Amino acid sequence: MKIEDLRIQEISREVRDGCQELNLPDSVLRQCMDKLRAQIDLGLNPDTRDKSTVKCFNTYVQDLPTGKEKGQFLALDLGGTNFRVLLITLNGRHFDMQSKIYVVPKAIMIGPGEDLFDHIASCLESFTLEHRVANKNLPLGFTFSFPLNQVGLKNGILTRWTKGFNCAGTVGRDVVEMLNAAVEKRKNTLKIDVVAVLNDTTGTLMSCAWKNHNCKVGVILGTGSNACYVEKIQNVIGFDGDKTKPYVIINTEWGAFGDNGELEFIRTPYDKEIDKNSVNPGKQLHEKMISGMYLGELARLLLVKFVKDKILFGGQASPALLEREKFLTEYISSIESDPRGVFKQCRNVLSKIGISDPTDQDCSNVRYICESVSRRAAHLASAGVATLLNKMEIPSVTVGVDGSLYRYHPHFHNLMYEKIPELLDPRIENPTINLMLSEDGSGRGAALIAASGSEHNV
């Protein structure tokens, strides 16, 4: 008997059957792709964008890096519960970076918007004083990793909050104006010039393209999920940027795909439970199926189901297992990092949530549950990437990827690397698809865009 057959035997039939709805065959993934493509086409047309869940915002970024960028720049990267301030020096292929991480307290994440931007400006002031550049009036690239409707390279209207943020008085306003207002309060010590606002996907694409000119897609697979890609100007109806240039980066905001019911045919009761208890019910449904903020909770709900069915842990659940969001997505990565048949990390994780002395059978089942959650996420992400590649019709493309889920999960890269080619249009001959892990995309990418949008680029 093969080892794989033995492994399957170790997994309870009830667990395999119970996880079956997370197993999406290629035929189902292609249905998702067709629906996503339809939403992208609607989003690229301003007359139909309101009907689309995938807004396809114009970033106004039309120049990919040349490798000749020079100068000193600040970058601000706000994308989750932490944000970074960076001081970046570019000199052709030389890149130097100094950075510091600051925390966004929970109260500020859901408080008045003015408090959020005041907090950011205060940290910016502290950073520039610490690095002795407070009076240099440096250009700043602002990576703002929430849905933005960009109306210029340095003008972005917030359309909604995600990732647990919900700051009052901000939706529908220009985030650069709000940052500038907070900076103005500190004008005696803080002198910066915000020359570009961008999404982390755009930063990822730019950062990877600086090293690999074949990079035409940027994907985030972290706390949240999104993607951008290089689109032909002729496909962007009513484009109001520089029409002498052939391309522009489009920020899809694919996290909201499914918000009009497009994914109901694959959403499970667990997905619906997560959505119901989120800060934004009914929103970002695609993101809630594939991003790191939610996968741990998805696995926990499955674990609880199988405990209640008396299939796991002798039917005994710990208090922590029954508490929402106590099973972290990083636990999934740890459990799947064990070699086959070894359960050291699995037992370590289970002990953290109060499950002691699980059997090998329990551990096999837990790993299978985690693998099912991870595999569905990776395959949905792959379907999204394949949709963009099919639309671009370019046989050789590098996809820049950033985010903690992709970076730290032991198998996410391989799952996507195997699945994307299987979903490509057969009319694309001899495709060569590479997945490139971004090195500090949000920081370097912000600096590169600041360089292209700044008079300081000499």
- pLDDT, tens digit, for every residue of 294-312? 999 999 999 999 999 999 9
Q: What is the mean pLDDT of residues 120-148?
A: 90
- 110 beta partners: none
Query: For residues 274 and 429, which has the higher predicted lDDT (pLDDT)?
Result: 274
Give the pLDDT of residue 455.
Answer: 45
Residue 456 has pLDDT above 70, yes or no: no
Residues 6+ apart with CB under 8 A from 2: none
Please answer whether residues 61 and 432 qualify as being in contact, where contact means their C-beta atoms are separated by less than 8 angstroms: no
Sequence-ordered alpha helix ranges (H) in 102-256: 106-109, 113-130, 175-184, 200-211
Give the pLDDT of residue 231.
Answer: 97
Give the pLDDT confidence of 167-200 residue by residue, as tens digits.
999 999 999 999 999 999 998 888 888 999 998 8
Residue 7 has pLDDT above 70, yes or no: no
Give the pLDDT confidence of 264-287 residue by residue, as tens digits.
999 999 999 999 999 889 999 999
Looking from the CA of 86 toward its CB, the CA atoms found within 13 Å total: 26
Q: Is 1 exposed, middle or buried (CB count within 10 Å of its CB: 0-12, 13-18, 19+)?
A: exposed
Angle (nearest 5°) at CA 139 between 103 and 398: 75
- Look up the pTM and report it: 0.89
CA proximity to 82, closest of 102, 107, 109, 54: 102
Q: What is the CATH number of domain 62-210+439-450?
A: 3.30.420.40
Alpha-carbon distance values, 435 to 13, 93, 173, 184, 412 (Å)? 35, 22, 35, 41, 11
Query: For residues 150 and 373, which has the higher predicted lDDT (pLDDT)?
Result: 373
Q: Which residues are known catalytic residues?
A: 84, 145, 200
Q: What is the mean pLDDT of residues 401-406?
A: 95
Give the pLDDT of residue 67.
Answer: 80
Calpha distance 267→249 (Å, rounded): 30
CA proximity to 32, closest of 379, 369, 399, 373: 379
Calpha distance 415→375 (Å, rounded): 7
